[in-house]
């Protein structure tokens, strides 16, 4: 079997689902199963300084093979947990060789079909080797494709000493899918000037802009009075919650926005007369529009408090920020990745992410960190798939970035 495919399969068949309700790191004990295996494998292929800390963060070094000490130290990062949204137990990958562009039956019994009629991206991969699920689990290409690519690229560089490169750092994290991948990442220990997460989707993706993100919890206190005698006395928290929501801009919601448009997204509401709670998230790529959205929420609160008495309390929490702010001053790190792709005949697809990555947090922790494609599609569900050729392309991109970083510093 193709050794890269073999490596990928050896990772996805280990269940590493993370759990947002756990407070430990890693959030699930089972993530250690893959983490320990990875640490061993990194030693085996010949990397130096392989460490795995008490939170299962793995780091390793490929020492420079160049006499030029001025080459920047760069890093590659991927996460080994899988999404809590869908089962990762007993992943049973199906391998479709020489894909013919037709429907792929994932599960005959349950009639689960991966069809290009619905997922038209599939048609880009006619003739390639597609790895799918059996329809009962996710695949875990997010982000075990990224792990496979980084390990394979390091192995390739070890076997090809004629390719000159500086010091390369690699980092594998738990719990990215529950937003905690970067939390306990020791940027100082990692010691890279910048890094790339290998965690994007289709071939060519290169991302250095993501949302600014905040969450808001709106708590409304009401006053319950017998409905027959309530005139001028009752304060119905449910009605006020409803009023609050109708004052939000109706077209600025996830289902009506795209590209760089921001939104408010009410994702939870609960209430009775005495008490109602609205939970929402605020997203915007533009920092000043992001701040304006927070002001807008506060303004609605004040407006309603004036009418109903001081019954609304709001708690806003920033979650993460657009990494563009940190990457723009070192934009050459994006250019290098772009040049690496172009030299391999891959068209770079540079677009803002409508979400966040580990890289956005890491960028604000002092490690500028754009995101590169890992090759998979339809993450977090049973239709997840990855073409083997896309994994191979990502490996070449990593190798090329290492090479270009070394030659660029000589110019
Ligand atoms: Zn991911």
Q: Is 342 annotated as a binding residue?
A: no
How do residues 290-349 score in pLDDT, each as one tens digit? Answer: 999 999 999 999 999 999 999 999 999 998 999 999 999 999 999 999 999 999 999 999
Output the pLDDT for position 355. Answer: 87
- Give first-to-last CA distance, the chain, whole Å: 41
- As a whole-number percent, the residues of the chain with pLDDT over 70 amount to 99
User: Is 15 annotated as catalytic?
Assistant: no
How do residues 65-82 score in pLDDT, each as one tens digit? Answer: 999 999 999 999 999 999
For all residues of the chain together, what is the average pLDDT? 96
Q: Which domain holds residue 375?
A: 3-209+323-408
221/276 Cα distance (integer angstroms): 7
Q: For residues 286 and 382, state if they share a domain.
A: no
- As a whole-number percent, the residues of the chain with pLDDT over 90 amount to 96
Tell me the CB-side half-sphere exposure of residue 200, using CA atoms within 13 A: 28
What are the CA-CA distances from residue 393 to residues 47, 153, 206, 341, 353 (Å)?
22, 10, 13, 9, 21
Q: Is 291 annotated as a binding residue?
A: no
pLDDT band at 1, cuts 50/70/90? confident
Give the domain CATH number at 164. Answer: 3.40.630.10
Q: For residues 267 and 187, state if they share a domain.
A: no
Is it the case that residue 360 has pLDDT exceeding 60?
yes
10 Å Cβ neighbour count for 293? 23
Structure tokens at 220: 């409304």
390/346 Cα distance (integer angstroms): 10
Output the pLDDT for position 272. Answer: 97
Which of 305, 320, 335 finishes a domain? Answer: 320
Q: Is 380 annotated as a binding residue?
A: yes
Q: For residues 141 and 70, state if they share a domain.
A: yes
Q: For residues 302 and 346, state if they share a domain.
A: no
Q: For residues 151 and 294, state if they share a domain.
A: no
Tell me the CB-side half-sphere exposure of residue 149, using CA atoms within 13 A: 36
How do residues 21-68 score in pLDDT, each as one tens digit? Answer: 999 999 999 999 999 999 999 999 999 999 999 999 999 999 999 999
Give me the sign of the Cα torsion angle 373, 376, 378, 382: negative
Which of 282, 299, 320 finishes a domain? Answer: 320
CA of 78 to the centre of ligand 1 (A): 8
Is it the case that residue 256 has pLDDT exceeding 90?
yes
Which neighbouring-strand residues pair with 207? 371
Q: Is 177 annotated as a binding residue?
A: yes
Is it the case that residue 190 has pLDDT exceeding 80?
yes
What are the CA-CA distances from residue 131 to residues 2, 141, 330, 383 (Å)?
13, 9, 36, 11
CA of 143 to the centre of ligand 1 (A): 5
Is it the case that residue 358 has pLDDT exceeding 90?
no
Give the domain CATH number at 298. Answer: 3.30.70.360
Is it the case that residue 376 has pLDDT exceeding 90?
yes
Candidates 15, 81, 155, 392; catalytic one: 81
Is it the case that residue 411 has pLDDT exceeding 60?
no
Q: For residues 346 and 313, state if they share a domain.
A: no
Is it the case that residue 410 has pLDDT exceeding 80?
no
Q: For residues 98 and 225, state if they share a domain.
A: no
CA of 277 to the centre of ligand 1 (A): 31
Which neighbouring-strand residues pair with 212? 284
pLDDT band at 247, cuts 50/70/90? very high
Q: For residues 44 and 94, state if they share a domain.
A: yes
Q: Is 175 annotated as a binding residue?
A: no
Q: For residues 23 and 50, state if they share a domain.
A: yes
Give the burial class of 254: count Cβ atoms within 10 A of its Cβ; 0-12 exposed, 13-18 middle, 19 or more buried. middle
C-alpha of 294 from chain center: 24
Helices (H), 344-387: 358-364
- Domains in the chain: how many in total? 2
Left (φ > 0), alpha (ψ -120 to 50) or beta: where does 335 sit? alpha
CA of 350 to the centre of ligand 1 (A): 17
Candidates 143, 176, 205, 209; catalytic one: 176
Give the burial class of 116: count Cβ atoms within 10 A of its Cβ; 0-12 exposed, 13-18 middle, 19 or more buried. middle
Output the pLDDT for position 186. Answer: 97
C-alpha of 289 from chain center: 23
CA of 295 to the centre of ligand 1 (A): 32
Give the burial class of 257: count Cβ atoms within 10 A of its Cβ; 0-12 exposed, 13-18 middle, 19 or more buried. middle
CA of 244 to the centre of ligand 1 (A): 34
User: Is 121 annotated as catalytic?
Assistant: no
CA of 248 to the centre of ligand 1 (A): 31
Q: For residues 352 and 239, state if they share a domain.
A: no
pTM of the full predicted structure? 0.89
CB 79 within 8 A of CB 13: no
Q: For residues 316 and 327, state if they share a domain.
A: no
């Amino acid at each position: 079997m193709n050794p890269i495919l073999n490596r990928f399969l050896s990772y996805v068949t280990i269940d590493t689902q993370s759990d947002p309700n756990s407070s430990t790191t890693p959030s699930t004990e089972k993530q250690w199963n893959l983490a320990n295996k990875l640490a061993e494998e990194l030693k085996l292929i010949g990397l130096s300084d392989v460490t795995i800390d008490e939170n299962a963060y793995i780091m390793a070094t490929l020492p420079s093979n160049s006499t030029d000490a001025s080459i920047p130290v760069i890093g590659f990062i991927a996460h080994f947990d899988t999404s809590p949204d869908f089962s990762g137990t007993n992943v049973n990958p199906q391998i479709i060789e020489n894909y013919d562009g037709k429907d792929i039956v994932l599960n005959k019994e349950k009639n689960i079909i991966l069809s290009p009629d619905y997922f038209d991206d599939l048609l880009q991969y006619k003739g390639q080797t597609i790895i799918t699920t059996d329809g009962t689990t996710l695949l875990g290409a997010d982000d075990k494709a990224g792990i496979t690519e980084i390990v394979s690229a390091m192995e390739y560089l070890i076997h090809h000493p004629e390719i000159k490169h500086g010091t390369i750092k690699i980092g594998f994290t738990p719990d990215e899918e529950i937003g905690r991948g970067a939390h306990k990442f020791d940027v100082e220990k990692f010691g890279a000037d910048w890094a790339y997460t290998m965690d994007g989707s289709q071939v060519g993706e290169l991302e250095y802009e993501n949302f600014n993100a905040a969450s808001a919890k709106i708590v409304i206190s009401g006053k319950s009075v017998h409905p027959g005698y309530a005139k001028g006395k009752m304060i119905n928290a449910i009605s006020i919650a409803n009023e609050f929501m109708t004052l939000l801009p109706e077209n600025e919601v996830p289902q009506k926005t795209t590209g760089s448009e921001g939104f408010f997204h009410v994702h939870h509401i609960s209430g009775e007369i005495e008490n109602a709670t609205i939970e929402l998230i605020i997203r915007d790529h533009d920092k000043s529009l992001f701040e304006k959205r927070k002001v807008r929420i506060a303004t609605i609160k004040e407006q309603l408090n004036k009418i109903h008495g001081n019954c609304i309390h709001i708690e806003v929490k920033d979650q993460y920020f657009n990494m563009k702010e940190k990457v723009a001053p070192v934009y050459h790190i994006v250019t290098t990745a772009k040049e690496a792709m172009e030299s391999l005949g891959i068209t770079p697809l540079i677009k803002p992410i409508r979400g966040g990555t580990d890289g956005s947090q890491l960028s604000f922790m002092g490690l500028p960190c754009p995101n590169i494609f890992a090759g998979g599609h339809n993450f977090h569900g049973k239709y997840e798939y990855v073409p083997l050729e896309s994994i191979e392309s990502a490996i070449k991109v990593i190798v090329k970035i290492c090479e270009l970083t070394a030659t660029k510093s000589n110019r």
